[in-house]
Amino acid sequence: MPGGEARLEPIPNILTVDLEEWFHIDERLVPAGAWDGLESRVEEDTRTLLALFDACGVRATFFVLGWVAARHQGLISEIHERGHEIATHGYLHRTVAGMTAAEFRADLREARQAVEGCSGGPVLGYRAARWSLGGVPGGGRRGRASGAVTEALDILVAEGLRYDASLAPIVHIGDPSWPRDPYRIERPGGLLFAGGWALRSVPNRVLLREIARRNRRGVPAVIDVHTWELDPDPPHVRLPFLHRLAHYGGLRGYRRKLAELLKSLPWSPARDHLARPPAASIGSPNRAARSARSEPSTIPFASTSAAAE
């Protein structure tokens, strides 16, 4: 190398997709009983995204809603055949906080059955609806008690999941004290791993700078894309102002922005990172937050966790 300096091998970051319909926002606003009567756009939107991934030469993890898998088996099989990882997003897009532990387990099992029936292989990963794994199961609201998190993680481990991508270190959808770097959570029967996402409203120059800083420390970043975000004119659900701003803000020009980001860095599915060493290995997200040596970040990267045997 010129000057005798060795070049570090680029770290692949983690590309994830939430595969769901445009109306899968909040079960209180659009109840499941109404879904079959609404226009479906998931096939067209997903194929638009697949074409973009092919053009950029990247592969991703698709967190597939079980309800969608049951109605679009051919689409999920196609995603798998094109080399992408198939994981689960639950069955009915219910928040973990809105379910009892028994309901959470049943929803997870139904979702895995639907998704695995399309891919023909085992599902390794899970992402909760609205990043709600940090909520209190059956509590009717999102909570931050570490006991609720570990109970949900214990269920994932017991059901054979290898990783979770739901714990967000950001206010409103998680706990800012949770770590932003990859980490393992020691649970009986398994270990768990975590990372983050990029927001569509953050300029790429800022995202690339922050991702590069993480990569220099050997830490991959995680970005999360929703299939409906690639729709040039998605139907809108009536939402409160702040919720509407968060849900629909930044959609204009997003396809171009995403393509630029994907072409600028190496990306891979979450499953490819299971063997990577974590930044920390502790018993709970709260202990991880106290123990992980993370640089402050101006980007609210969400965390991802993964169970490994």
Annotated domain spans of the chain: 14-291
Backbone angles phi, psi at 64, to 5 degrees: -95, 130
Gyration radius (Cα) of the chain, Å = 18
For 184-213, what is the mean pLDDT? 62
- Mean residue pLDDT of the chain comes to 77
- CATH of the structural domain 14-291, one choice from 1.10.600.10, 3.20.20.370, 3.40.80.10, 3.20.80.10: 3.20.20.370
Which stretch, 26-30, 109-113, 135-139, 211-215, has highest mean pLDDT? Answer: 109-113
Please name which of 23, 39, 27, 48 lies closest in space to residue 227, comparing C-alpha atoms: 48
The residue whose two tokens read 């965390």 is 303
Q: Is 47 exposed, middle or buried (0-12, 13-18, 19+ CB in 10 A)?
A: middle
End-to-end CA distance of the chain: 40
Q: Residue 50: is its pLDDT beyond 80?
A: yes
Residue recorded with tokens 């045997």: 309
pLDDT at residue number 43: 98
Poorest-pLDDT segment among 65-74, 111-120, 205-214, 291-300: 291-300
Mean pLDDT over 63-70 rounds to 98
DSSP codes, the chain: -GGGPPPPPPPPEEEEEEE--TT-S-TTTS-GGGGGGSPP-HHHHHHHHHHHHHHHT---EEEE-HHHHHH-HHHHHHHHHTT-EEEE--SS---GGGS-HHHHHHHHHHHHHHHHHHHSS---EE--GGGGGGS-TTSSS----HHHHHHHHHHHHHTT--EE-----STTTS-TTS-SS--EEEETTEE--------TTS-HHHHHHHHHHHHHTT---EEEEEGGGG-SS-------HHHHHHHHTT-TTHHHHHHHHHHHS-EE-GGGGTTSPPS-EESSHHHHHHH--PPP-SS-PPP-B--B-
Of the CA atoms within 13 Å of residue 7, those in its CB half-sphere come to: 5
Q: 0.85 cut: is pTM over it?
A: no
What does the pLDDT read at residue 31? 93
Query: What is the tens place of the pLDDT at every residue in 76-128?
Result: 999 999 999 999 999 999 988 888 999 999 999 999 999 999 999 999 999 99
Q: Which of 35-44, 142-151, 242-251 has the highest mean pLDDT?
A: 35-44
| pLDDT tier for residue 28 given thresholds of 50, 70 and 90 | confident
Residue 14 phi/psi, 5° resolution? -105, 120
Measured CA to CA in angstroms, residue 259 lies from 40, 188, 210, 232, 271 at distances of 25, 41, 18, 15, 22
Residue 210, C-beta contacts closer than 8 angstroms, at least 6 positions apart: 221, 297, 298, 299, 301
Give 149's pLDDT tier (boundaries 50, 70, 90).
confident
The pair of structure tokens assigned to 252 is: 């204009």
Per this entry, what is the length of the chain? 309
